Structure 1
């Protein structure tokens, strides 16, 4: 992505984000403020479904929400729909934590015009540069799940992406190491 002048400093962004109402989720990617569309009931159900399955298969892990500093310079701020980590990993970290310890980040598409740019291009770039082992995109637009693996810290992004159609078995490779039946995800799309 071409470099451009940031809209504001990351410190100013954090100040604004800290005062935003709970119904507004703000992110700061590539120097631009982004507003994540409010979750609909199906979106929340998909996140809950994934959380339960991950924690059932791997009780040593927790799947929750956490703001992350996601680039080598620490200037990007993302709020994934879910972050899979060892239990209590983010205790004491505050609103924005470093990505170390995050085994997987998850985004679920929201039927908004920014989905393509944000979830399919910008997020894999910054999550990969941050060294997060897996990025799972549950794409309700295309009825697919894409597991990005092999993060490339040097240039950003991931070396591998495996696409699975809803209804097929979704394989989350190591360090997560679980398989999920995605048939139910067909119920949560428009």
Structure 2
């Protein structure tokens, strides 16, 4: 008796194309439906780890809070991407974008992003704390928030020159004057 392969084989990036670093945003948009979530960094596909329930609850509660409180002209979004260039895309946990961004799009251009938010998980610590802020700043995204989970703590940064400066952080209430007047009780985004 011989064993035959059964079932469907999951998609993974082509090793040769990974070495050549020649993937583009079009390749990501053309992935099959069963492909994992990926980001693109200088032409290399990076598989994004699946989030935990707490991670998703925090992102969802923040999205809902922003949707309720952001002024007209701004739109909160979850699990959508930012095109930093044709070969670099990120998928922040929550975005606040110009309301003109078309609802049928998966990516928005960096100049339409007002705020990018990353909820830090064990598998994303280095990227969320070190790599992504540098890339978001280089793309000119004016505000970046990093949310640490244990304990829940929000760090808010504003773009000053070509890098981010910490403007507020809190475990109780985040108070900011930009991108709009914000008084976010941290308990409202706590799972």
Q: Settle same-fold status: TM greater than 0.5.
A: yes
Output aligned runs, 1:20-169, within 5 Å: 20-21=32-33, 24-60=36-72, 61-65=74-78, 66-70=80-84, 74-87=86-99, 89-91=100-102, 94-112=105-123, 115-141=124-150, 143-153=152-162, 157-158=163-164, 160-162=165-167, 164-166=169-171, 168-169=172-173
Deviation at 1:24, TM superposition (A): 2.1
- In the alignment, does 2:180 pair up with 1:180? no
SS of the residue 1:127 aligns to:
helix
1:73-119 per-residue CA deviation (whole Å, 9 max, x = no partner) reads: 553211111111233x221774333111211011112222xx23210
Q: Of the two, which has the highest radius of gyration? A: 2
- Alpha-carbon distance in structure 2 between the residues aligned to 1:75 and 1:23: 18
SS of the residue 1:39 aligns to:
coil
Question: Is the 2:22–2:44 contact (alpha carbons within 8 Å) kept by the matching residues of 1?
Answer: no
Figure out how many residues of one structure are paired with residues of the other and give that number: 172
Question: Is the 1:67–1:79 contact (alpha carbons within 8 Å) kept by the matching residues of 2?
Answer: yes
Q: What is aligned with 2:6?
A: none
| CA pair 121-62 structure 1, distance change in 2 beyond 3 A | same
| CA pair 6-139 structure 1, distance change in 2 beyond 3 A | farther
| CA pair 142-34 structure 1, distance change in 2 beyond 3 A | farther
Kindly report the root-mean-square deviation, in angstroms, between the aligned alpha carbons of the 2 structures: 2.7
Q: Of residues 4, 14, 19 in structure 1, which corresponds to 2:31?
A: 19
- Alpha-carbon distance in structure 1 between the residues aligned to 2:23 and 2:86: 9
- Alpha-carbon distance in structure 1 between the residues aligned to 2:109 and 2:52: 28
| CA pair 161-47 structure 1, distance change in 2 beyond 3 A | same
- TM-score w.r.t. the length of structure 1 is 0.76
- Alpha-carbon distance in structure 2 between the residues aligned to 1:128 and 1:35: 22
